[in-house]
Amino acid sequence: MTSHSGGYRALAHTLDRGGLTDHVTQVILLDSVYDNLSQFEAYARSGGRMAVVYTDNAGTLGNSQHMANDLRALKPFDDRTYSTLTDAQFDAPLLFKRSALSHDGTAQYYFVRLLAHAGFR
């Protein structure tokens, strides 16, 4: 499941109330963590793969970094730099990535790359 921008709320409630969460293999949040941290954190704690990409200017930086801190015990790959990820880093089961791209640029650049590393064959 993926959300960009305001799509986070529908995704969070689907995880929380949808009844099919055990069938969800990965959540991708593209500059999309404005609220509902508890639902996303619960999913990550259940062992689901999750990738969070955020920018400095869309209002998601604080919540994304807060969530990474909350999930520190799960040993996320937490890159708060603007560097480009390697293929191996995209494979992290729990990934937090700060991006210098624009709000829409995060979806355009990261979606295809994260999907390529989601394990679908």
> Model confidence over 76-99: pLDDT tens digits?
999 999 999 999 999 999 999 999
Judge whether residue 18 has pLDDT over 90.
no
Judge whether residue 19 has pLDDT over 90.
no
> Model confidence over 98-115: pLDDT tens digits?
999 999 999 999 999 999
- What would the mean pLDDT of 2-18 be, rounded to a whole number? 94
Residue-level pLDDT at 120: 65
> Model confidence over 41-60: pLDDT tens digits?
999 999 999 999 999 999 99
Judge whether residue 121 has pLDDT over 70.
no
Q: What percent of the chain has pLDDT over 90?
A: 88
Residue-level pLDDT at 119: 74
Mean pLDDT of the chain, nearest integer:
95
Complete edge-to-edge strand list for the sheet that includes strand 49-54:
2-4, 26-30, 49-54, 94-98, 77-79
Nearest to 12 by CA among 44, 45, 39: 39
